Amino acid sequence: KDEGIPSDIMKKTMEHPCYNCAGHQFARIHLPVAPSCNVQCNYCVRKYDCPNESRPGVTSTILTPEEALARYIAVKERMPNLTVVGIAGPGDSLAGNYADTKKTLELIRSYDKDVTFCLSTNGLMLPFYAEELVQLGVTHVTVTMNAVDPKISGKIYKYINYMGNRFEGDAAGAIMVSNQLSGLKILLAHGVICKVNIVTLKGINESHIPAVVQTCKDMGCYITNIMQLIPVPGSAFESLPMVSNKDILNLRNECNKIMKQMFHCKQCRADAVGTLDNDMSVDLAGFLAPKEA
């Protein structure tokens, strides 16, 4: 199933902690340079990190691109197994702060030719930026796509802000699905390794998830990550019943028959640093402090 992927990209994928369960020894650093967002998901309260790619309840300090480079250099010097730079919010990497996302990647690339660039997005602006991301050297992209049916997608967003207008309901769903799919298509045509995150929303998209996974498989995505919704107090979906770990496992197992599944997602912070099992961001200053002689 990995046929057709060039060997250098395959190597990056094998050394990416999220794209395969065997990547435990490799570390990633999330650089929190993208605070703004262009949509309002019903499960999100914006004062926390984007729960499309993070566990809720954490607020990352925003870094400028220059600060992000400095953090990358400091961490890389102490973490030789660091293979991946991820931009995962705390808002959306392609929303209003896209210029900072871009600048961050450019600065890091001029310092490090090899590190893998990984980016996560809700997909709204992906058709506009996909080719530029390829030029910037992004080889791995995650799109959170909770539905491929506009009616179902439309129930997940309170509204979206797009081309100067606000859309809701079916119209919002239709734009999201269309842009997520066309953005993915452009990336896939350029050989980007694509992952789709799917947040399981009881009574909303639960039974539709295999159809989302089948669409991802048919397009040529590499892996899907079926995630649990951790309800955020104050969000529109705060009282949506949580899907049990067992139900998530069953869904992943069912969808594993369709295509490769992620079983080890840690729903990490937008400023996570380290291996998936050992997040150093909680005490980054301590980790970076000069060691006592």
- Return residues touching ligand SF4 (CB under 6 A): 37, 39-41, 44, 50-52, 91-92, 122
Query: Is 18 an interacting residue with respect to ligand CLF (CB under 6 A)?
Result: yes
- If contact means CB under 5 to 8 A according to the sort of partner, which of ligand SF4, ligand CLF, none does residue 71 touch? none
Query: Is 216 an interacting residue with respect to ligand CLF (CB under 6 A)?
Result: no
Q: What b-and-e string marks burial along 253-288, b requiring 16 or more CB atoms within 10 Å of the CB?
A: eebeebbbbbeebebbbbbbbbbbeebbbeebeeee
- If contact means CB under 5 to 8 A according to the sort of partner, which of ligand CLF, ligand SF4, none does residue 94 touch? none
CB of 14 to ligand SF4, least distance (A): 28
Region from 97-105, 200-208, 263-271, 283-291 binding ligand CLF, contact rule CB under 6 A: 263-271
Q: Please give the single-letter amino acid code of residue 156.
A: I
**Which position among 30, 102, 155, 208 is part of the footprint of ligand CLF (CB under 6 A)?**
30
CB of 92 to ligand SF4, least distance (A): 5
Is the CA virtual torsion 196, 201, 204, 210 positive or negative?
positive
Q: Which lies closer to ligand SF4 via its Cβ, residue 13 or residue 144? A: 144
Q: Please give the single-letter amino acid code of residue 243.
A: V
Query: In 144-221, where does DSSP find H-type helix?
Result: 150-156, 169-189, 209-219
Cα-Cα-Cα-Cα torsion 36, 283, 287, 28, nearest 10 degrees, comes to -40
- If contact means CB under 5 to 8 A according to the sort of partner, which of ligand CLF, ligand SF4, none does residue 281 touch? none
Cα-Cα-Cα-Cα torsion 21, 248, 55, 166, nearest 10 degrees, comes to 120
Query: Is 88 an interacting residue with respect to ligand CLF (CB under 6 A)?
Result: yes
Binding mask 42-61 for ligand CLF (x = CB under 6 A): -----------x--------
- How many whole angstroms separate alpha carbon 124 and alpha carbon 271? 22
**Which position among 225, 235, 261, 275 is part of the footprint of ligand CLF (CB under 6 A)?**
225
Inter-residue long-range contacts of 168-174, CB under 8 Å, 24+ positions, other chains counted: 172/39, 173/147, 173/149, 174/150
Q: Which residue is nearest to ligand CLF (CB)?
A: 86
For residue 33, give every residue at least 6 positions away whose Cβ sits within 8 Å of its Cβ, in sequence order, or none: 62, 63, 64, 65, 68, 87, 97, 100, 101, 104
CB of 39 to ligand SF4, least distance (A): 5
Query: Is 276 an interacting residue with respect to ligand CLF (CB under 6 A)?
Result: yes
CB of 146 to ligand SF4, least distance (A): 10
Region from 201-209, 210-218, 245-253, 266-274 binding ligand CLF, contact rule CB under 6 A: 266-274
For residue 77, give every residue at least 6 positions away whose Cβ sits within 8 Å of its Cβ, in sequence order, or none: none
The secondary structure of residue 114, as a DSSP letter, is S
- How many whole angstroms separate alpha carbon 280 and alpha carbon 273? 5
Query: Is 270 an interacting residue with respect to ligand CLF (CB under 6 A)?
Result: no
- How many whole angstroms separate alpha carbon 17 and alpha carbon 61? 23
Query: Is 34 an interacting residue with respect to ligand CLF (CB under 6 A)?
Result: no
Footprint of ligand CLF (CB under 6 A): 18, 28, 30, 53, 84, 86, 88, 118, 120, 142, 225, 265-268, 276
